[in-house]
Chains A and B, each alone.
Chain A
Amino acid sequence: MRHKRGGIEMEGPDVPVAPMLDMAFQLLTFFVLTYRAAPVEGQFIMNLLPPQPATAMAAAATEPSATNELPASLRTLPVFLRADDQGRLAQVTISESDVTNDPKGLAEVLDYHLQDPDVPFDQTLIKVDPELRYSELMSIIDGFTDAFIRAKKEPKLSFDELRPGDGG
């Protein structure tokens, strides 16, 4: 290989590029074949405390916390989700009133509860039928998270098992 440097023609060593290119193409083929596009996964981050005994919850309901004037029970929006035989969402009860299952209707009710300045709700306890499909629960959690964001509040969600007699 000839190079011109400072007007002098110099003879340099011939570096064989072809083997390097072969190797590079082999590596490239390996990476192209093993590449798998990562799925776009998201997450809902929650602090889930274990369920408290009924006596402890009753005590907490009567005693105002140090940081808030209202006790936790009055700031918590109670939600009950019931499933049908197939595990699909059959009934949504929010604050003792039944709500339509469609996302738009749910969003309207949640906006009413969370955006009203006279209503003190800033967290939600969702009691869920154990037979309910996980995908149905996630769609409800999705709706609640959206509603909290629209109301400019930090989403505080927790859930527990729905027991017979809960929610009327």
Chain B
Amino acid sequence: MSGGLISKTKAEPNLTPLLDIVFQLITFFMLVINFAGDNYDQRINLPDAGSARPVEDDSRIAEDRLVLNVDSEGRLLRKDRAMGIDEAADEIRHEAALVKLGLQSTGVKFDPASDTLPTTIILRADKETSFGAVLGIIKACQAQGFRKFALKAMIRG
């Protein structure tokens, strides 16, 4: 580049490789960020289990599931509220009604006495809670036709 009579050389750093790296980093963080983590309540301390299976990242499974967080007091955490067992049973009944409505709209007939709802209950219970409290939630789910359960645990290294 020249300016007037005096020839000056202006240093122009090549920003393209820097931009490439930055865009690669942005792409990485965009892919790994999890905006749908609302179901995974951070207040729950899951128990450890070495033989727990890793969660399959399958969109079909993701649609047919209901995540239930149970705190250390045995209360169901839904919609930023802690529910006792009676309120929890009402909430589960409501969720089951929605699933059955969805089945009806697709033409599937559901017999509550014999049929099983296709939804998997993802049970995230705190390690300090009692089995009795967890069983109460499980029984409330079974009463509505849910049979498939996935008990969550942290995979030990």
Partners in one complex: yes
Which residues in A have some Cβ–Cβ distance to B below 8 Å? 17-18, 20-21, 24-25, 27-28, 31-32, 34-36, 38-50, 87, 128-135, 137-139, 141-142, 145-146, 149, 159, 161
B33 at the interface (CB under 8 A from A): yes
- State the CA gap A42–B42 with chains docked (Å): 15
Dominant secondary structure at the B interface: mixed
Q: Residues of A contacting B46 with CB < 8 Å?
A: 39, 41
Of B22, B30, B147, which is within 8 A of A25 by CB? B22
Dominant secondary structure at the A interface: mixed
Given known pairs A24-B19, A49-B142, the reply for A132 and B130 (CB within 8 Å) is yes
Of A24, A39, A42, A48, which is within 8 A of B52 by CB? A42
In the complex, the answer to whether A24 meets B149 with C-beta atoms within 8 Å is no
Q: Residues of A contacting B11 with CB < 8 Å?
A: none
In the complex, the answer to whether B29 meets A32 with C-beta atoms within 8 Å is yes
Minimum CB distance partner of A161 in chain B: B135
- State the CA gap A141–B150 with chains docked (Å): 13
> Using a CB-CB cutoff of 8 Å, which residues 3-29 of chain B contact chain A?
15-16, 18-19, 22-23, 25-26, 29
In the complex, the answer to whether B53 meets A50 with C-beta atoms within 8 Å is no
Q: Residues of A contacting B129 with CB < 8 Å?
A: 133-134
In the complex, the answer to whether B53 meets A130 with C-beta atoms within 8 Å is no
B132 at the interface (CB under 8 A from A): yes
Of A46, A49, A138, A146, which is within 8 A of B127 by CB? A138
CB distance from A98 to the nearest CB of B (A): 20
- State the CA gap A24–B135 with chains docked (Å): 50
Of B25, B33, B150, which is within 8 A of A28 by CB? B25
- State the CA gap A45–B151 with chains docked (Å): 6
In the complex, the answer to whether A34 meets B149 with C-beta atoms within 8 Å is no
Given known pairs A35-B29, A146-B51, the reply for A28 and B131 (CB within 8 Å) is no
Minimum CB distance partner of A44 in chain B: B151
B107 at the interface (CB under 8 A from A): no
In the complex, the answer to whether A135 meets B127 with C-beta atoms within 8 Å is yes
Minimum CB distance partner of B23 in chain A: A24
CB distance from B93 to the nearest CB of A (A): 15
Q: Residues of B contacting A145 with CB < 8 Å?
A: 49, 51-52
CB distance from A37 to the nearest CB of B (A): 9
Q: Residues of A contacting B98 with CB < 8 Å?
A: none
